[in-house]
Amino acid sequence: MSVTSVPPVPLSRRVLPLVMLSPAVLVTLAIVFLPMVQALWMSLHDYVLFRPKNFDFVGLKNFIAVWQDPVFWTSLRHTVIWIAITVPAQMLLGLATALLLNQNFPWRGLARALVIIPWALPSVVIALMWVWIYDSNFGVLNELMLRFNMISAAIPWLANPDTALYAIILTLTWQGFPFFAVMILAGLQSIPQSYYEAASIDGASQFRQFWHITLPGLSGVLMTATLLRVIWVANSIDVIYVMTGGGPGYSTYTLPLYALVKARTGLDYGYGSALAVSFTILLLGFVILYLRRAGRNIA
């Protein structure tokens, strides 16, 4: 038995990757980690912006207040509903769209380009557009539903606490589904055609082919895209802010929005930071669980 000795890697080769990575790492540290540490530090203080000279350390007081704050629990419930409906709805719609766009039909290239439009539009534009769609006086949604006798009176979709959150969820679903569609379309094209041909020869139905070839083939893409969307949707406040500002009352408050209102409008940066840190910990816990579970399933 012979032992082959591996030649030592020169120092320059070992250091080079670190040197190449360092600008990106430094920038990330400066614009992501530093503000995170600052937020954590502020959350342990009483810090109201219009009293900038008072910066008293209060330990976990803000976190205890968060725990006892009914608006925190309302916002948390809305955040869970917000993520639990929006992300699966975007995924299903994206999956259906990708399957359609993967078929051969005339103008397929144009259809693929058009489907990306909602994703490419700025959130503020989308929010304003949907505010008009939902408008109780001039909105096209009420107009159509009244014409088809689906409702007997115009519904103030965004001013009714029972419908406001779901109306915004529909808006965000529309905005985000192209992301899933594009990702899934790329995944579909990476599944070898020979799998389908073999399954077809064995007599597998279309549904069986989808269930046993397409879905397993897409699992990696779906896992990554879902994780990204959960994080993005959870943190998304621009559409809510423009459409309702969190109202009526607390009907459309989510945790990031509540943190923003407390810090930026209420100028209570100590409490706002405690809300943001609490939410980050909750989201981080979910992401870790998800990665473990999804990673195991894929393996």
* Footprint of another protein (CB under 8 A): 49-52, 135-138, 146, 152-156, 158-161, 244-251, 261, 264-267
Output 152 or 194, the one with its CB closest to another protein. Answer: 152
Interhelix angle 269-298/70-101, nearest 10 degrees:
40
Please state the closest distance from residue 86 (CB atom) to another protein, in A: 21
Parallel, antiparallel or unpaired: strands 45-46 and 56-57: antiparallel
Q: Which residue type, as a one-letter code, is found at position 12?
A: S
Q: Of the two residues 88 and 161, which places its CB atom closer to another protein in the complex?
A: 161
Residue 233 C-beta: closest distance to another protein, Å: 22
What residues contact residue 102 under an 8 Å CB cut-off, 6+ apart?
Answer: 185, 188, 189
For the CB of residue 272, give the shortest distance to another protein in the complex, in Å: 12
Residue 50 or 207: the one with the smaller Cβ distance to another protein is 50
Secondary structure letter of residue 191 according to DSSP: S
Minimum distance from CB of 89 to another protein (Å)? 24
Q: Which residue, 279, 82, 286, is CA-closest to 170?
A: 82
Distance separating alpha carbons of residues 286 and 297, to the nearest angstrom:
16
Q: Which is nearer to another protein, 51 or 293 (CB)?
A: 51
The least CB distance from residue 247 to another protein, in Å, is 5
From CA 100, how far away is CA 215, in angstroms rounded? 15
Find the distance separating the first CA and the last CA of the chain, reported in whole Å: 35
